């Protein structure tokens, strides 16, 4: 569970470590065990990165305040026993780990709510929080029959992996260009990065033999193709486990410098862009601060035209060494983009107001839940609801009587909620069916002809059909585009097209699917083969 969070959780802006996270533990002993294991697996964080927060600790309230204070503050990971399940508002939270079973739907939804708070500029200037990730190790979503979208493994590279690979690129380029001085500098920095990896960290421990071999100066300075490949494939991903909290700006400056050195050797036009970026950063250094003022002579020299006329890789390396430590004193950019404008366009006396459309109230999960509770409560005494679930056609008169029954039988339910649904749902019987579902036996009968027509289906095709039947039984119908999304892509990444290759089989299956939609909403699906076009 801990490795899953650390390796696949949403990370901070550097990609080095997960953002603010909560692990929901079963009890105090369980929480303590998780914390102890975390510190064994990731000792580089010094024991403060992940903390237990429960009623056993008299400092619990202080730990909560520390957790809430800043996106980079310790603890970054809170192991909670009930104290943070509800009522805690931390917008920076991007990962939730369910390390225990939940059997209360209300509590489950409140726990999920810990991750739903919006947070501006969480991943840098104008990079807002748009999602959060849930690690459900106890099947709670399946227990409550909640839909979810399975996330794909992250392919983004951490800052330190980018820097490590950039130095490998520079070393290779220096060999090709005959620059032994810069080559030795790049290799020495690569070796320092390797030596900075703690073999007590679980992921590094698994590669300890390769790390020790590749760290040898004679191996690195030989820089054979096999060595370079091993460094890229095996060592570069491990750079994620270097703890750079508090010195992020220094390593960002390192990355900028190594890119400048590379583009300088290439004599690339991109060098000018990177030069402007570097001058922009240096111009934002706060000169009134003593550590910055001490470097004033070098800063002024870098700003001069003469420096750039005679710039070399070695002179850039000198700048890196001298200025990397003070880059944390640059003024932060606070630019905010202008909000979208509202434009009224008039033409011929007719005005057109261009405004964003609002989400329909009836599309909101909370709204659907309220309506579902009402419908299920009345199901046994309503022949119309039973007829809808069975897939039968109902008349307008029957729907009107059902509407009256529901609105009069539920005086304690928000009438506006019910009215919104019954006045906007179109067609009403299919909207109701999408909430109460369809009888599984009826769904099975609709697919029976298809199964008879194609008796030699593969196991993947049968599993796909079972997923499809379950979805329709639960929601009454399905949109074609949903067949290319989870859970249908768990069997094949291309969804429907990956499982059913035969065109005629696909056409027959789509015909069955379309039969569950309202007649006026059903559309003929055409598939074309463009190979001969």
Residue 348 vs residue 477, higher pLDDT: 477
pLDDT on residue 420: 58
Cβ-in-10-Å burial (0-12, 13-18, 19+) of 464 comes to: buried
Give residue-wise pLDDT tens across range 159-204.
999 999 999 999 999 999 999 999 999 999 999 999 999 999 999 9
Q: How many CA atoms lie within 13 A of 143 on its CB side?
A: 14
The per-residue DSSP string of 21-63 comes to EEEE-SSHHHHHHHHHHHHHH-GGGTTSSEEEESTT-TTHHHH
In this prediction, residues 329-333 reach a mean pLDDT of: 80
pLDDT on residue 409: 66
In this prediction, residues 203-223 reach a mean pLDDT of: 93
What percent of the chain is modeled with pLDDT above 70?
Answer: 85
Residue 242 has pLDDT above 70, yes or no: yes
pLDDT tier, 153 (very low <50, low <70, confident <90, very high otherwise) = low
C-alpha angle 361-365-367 in degrees, rounded to nearest 5 = 50
Range of the domain at 133: 2-143
pLDDT tier, 370 (very low <50, low <70, confident <90, very high otherwise) = low
- Distance of alpha carbon 487 from alpha carbon 464, whole angstroms: 9
- Distance of alpha carbon 508 from alpha carbon 449, whole angstroms: 10
Domain boundary among 420, 436, 452: 436
pLDDT on residue 70: 81
Q: Please check whether residue 531 lies inside any domain of the structure.
A: no
Model pTM score: 0.62
pLDDT on residue 376: 75
- Distance of alpha carbon 183 from alpha carbon 223, whole angstroms: 10
Structure tokens at 74: 């310790």
pLDDT tier, 521 (very low <50, low <70, confident <90, very high otherwise) = very low
Give residue-wise pLDDT tens across range 455-508.
888 888 888 888 888 888 888 888 888 888 777 877 787 788 888 988 889 899
Q: Are residues 431 and 452 in the same domain?
A: no
Buried b (16+ CB within 10 A) or exposed e, 305-344: eeeeeebebebbbebbeebbebbebbeeeeeeeeeeeeee
In this prediction, residues 395-402 reach a mean pLDDT of: 81
Domain boundary among 412, 436, 460: 436
Q: Please check whether residue 523 lies inside any domain of the structure.
A: no
- Distance of alpha carbon 117 from alpha carbon 131, whole angstroms: 10
Residues paired with 351 in a beta bridge: 346
Q: Are residues 131 and 275 in the same domain?
A: no
Q: Please check whether residue 334 lies inside any domain of the structure.
A: no
Structure tokens at 385: 């609801």
pLDDT on residue 338: 47
Q: Please check whether residue 151 lies inside any domain of the structure.
A: no
Q: Are residues 393 and 444 in the same domain?
A: no
73: domain CATH number is: 3.40.50.300
Q: Please check whether residue 152 lies inside any domain of the structure.
A: no
Residue appearing with tokens 């807002």: 128
In this prediction, residues 439-445 reach a mean pLDDT of: 88
Residue 24 has pLDDT above 90, yes or no: yes
Residue 335 has pLDDT above 70, yes or no: no
- Distance of alpha carbon 172 from alpha carbon 178, whole angstroms: 10
Q: Are residues 171 and 220 in the same domain?
A: yes
Q: Are residues 474 and 380 in the same domain?
A: no
Q: Are residues 96 and 178 in the same domain?
A: no
The chain-wide mean pLDDT, for the chain, equals: 83
Q: Are residues 41 and 177 in the same domain?
A: no
Structure tokens at 489: 């892509």
Between strands 93-98 and 77-80, the pairing is unpaired
Q: How many CA atoms lie within 13 A of 70 on its CB side?
A: 5
Q: Are residues 197 and 303 in the same domain?
A: yes
Residue 349 has pLDDT above 50, yes or no: no
DSSP designation for 74: S
Q: Are residues 109 and 166 in the same domain?
A: no
As a whole number of Å, the end-to-end CA separation of the chain is 51
Sequence-separated (6 or more) residues with CB below 8 Å from residue 375: 385, 406, 432, 435, 436
Residue 381 vs residue 196, higher pLDDT: 196
Nearest to 4 by CA among 70, 77, 66: 77
How many distinct structural domains can be found in the chain? Answer: 4
What percent of the chain is modeled with pLDDT above 90?
Answer: 45
pLDDT on residue 449: 87
pLDDT tier, 347 (very low <50, low <70, confident <90, very high otherwise) = very low
Domain boundary among 283, 310, 329: 329
pLDDT on residue 93: 94
23-32, 222-231, 510-519, range with the lowest pLDDT: 510-519
Q: Please check whether residue 353 lies inside any domain of the structure.
A: no
Q: Please check whether residue 133 lies inside any domain of the structure.
A: yes
Q: Are residues 56 and 83 in the same domain?
A: yes
Q: Are residues 137 and 175 in the same domain?
A: no
Q: Are residues 7 and 102 in the same domain?
A: yes
210-214, 220-224, 424-428, 477-481, range with the lowest pLDDT: 424-428
């Amino acid at each position: 569970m801990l490795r899953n969070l650390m390796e696949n959780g949403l990370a901070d802006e550097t990609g080095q470590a997960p953002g603010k996270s909560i692990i929901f533990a079963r009890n105090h002993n369980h929480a303590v065990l998780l914390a102890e294991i975390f510190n064994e697996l990731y000792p580089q964080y010094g024991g403060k990165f992940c903390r237990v927060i429960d009623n056993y600790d008299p400092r619990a309230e202080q730990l909560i305040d520390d957790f809430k204070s800043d996106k980079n503050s310790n603890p970054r990971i809170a192991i909670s026993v009930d104290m943070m399940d509800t009522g805690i508002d931390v917008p920076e939270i991007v990962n939730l780990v369910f390390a225990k079973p939940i059997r209360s739907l209300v509590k489950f939804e409140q726990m999920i709510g810990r991750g739903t708070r919006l947070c501006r500029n969480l991943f840098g200037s104008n990079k807002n929080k748009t999602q959060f990730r849930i690690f459900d190790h106890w099947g709670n979503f399946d227990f409550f029959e909640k839909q979810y979208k399975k996330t794909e493994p992250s392919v983004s590279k951490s800052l330190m992996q980018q820097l490590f690979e950039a130095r490998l690129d520079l070393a290779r380029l220096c060999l090709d260009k005959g620059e032994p001085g810069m080559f030795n500098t790049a290799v020495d920095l690569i070796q320092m990065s390797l030596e900075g990896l703690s073999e007590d960290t679980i992921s590094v421990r698994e590669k300890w033999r390769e790390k020790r071999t590749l760290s040898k100066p004679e191996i690195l300075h030989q820089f054979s193709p096999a060595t370079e490949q091993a460094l890229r494939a095996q060592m570069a991903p491990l750079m994620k486990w270097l703890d750079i909290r508090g010195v992020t700006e220094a390593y960002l400056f390192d990355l900028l410098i190594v890119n400048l050195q590379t583009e300088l050797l290439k004599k690339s036009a991109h060098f000018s862009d990177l030069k402007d970026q570097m001058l922009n950063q240096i111009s934002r250094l706060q000169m009134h601060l003593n550590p910055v003022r001490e470097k004033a002579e070098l800063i002024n020299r870098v700003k001069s035209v003469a420096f750039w006329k005679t710039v070399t890789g070695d002179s850039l390396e000198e700048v890196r060494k001298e200025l990397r430590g003070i880059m944390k004193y640059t003024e932060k950019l606070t630019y905010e983009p202008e909000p979208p404008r509202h434009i009224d366009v008039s033409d011929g006396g007719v005005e057109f107001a261009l405004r964003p459309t609002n989400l329909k109230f009836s599309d909101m999960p909370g709204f659907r839940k309220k309506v579902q509770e009402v419908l299920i409560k009345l199901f046994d005494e309503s022949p119309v609801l039973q007829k809808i679930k069975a897939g039968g056609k109902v008349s307008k008169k029957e729907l009107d009587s059902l509407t009256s029954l529901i609105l009069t039988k539920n005086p304690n339910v928000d009438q506006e909620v019910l009215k919104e649904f019954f006045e906007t749902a179109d067609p009403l019987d299919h909207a109701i069916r999408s909430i109460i579902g369809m009888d599984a036996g009826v769904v099975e009968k609709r697919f029976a002809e298809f199964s008879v027509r194609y008796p030699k289906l593969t196991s993947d095709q049968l599993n796909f059909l079972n997923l499809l039947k379950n979805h329709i039984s639960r929601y009454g119908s399905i949109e074609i585009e949903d067949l290319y999304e989870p859970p249908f892509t768990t069997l094949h990444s291309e969804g429907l097209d990956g499982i059913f290759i035969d065109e005629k089989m696909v056409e027959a299956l789509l015909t069955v699917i379309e039969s569950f939609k309202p007649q006026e909403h059903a559309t003929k699906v055409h598939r074309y083969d463009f190979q001969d076009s």
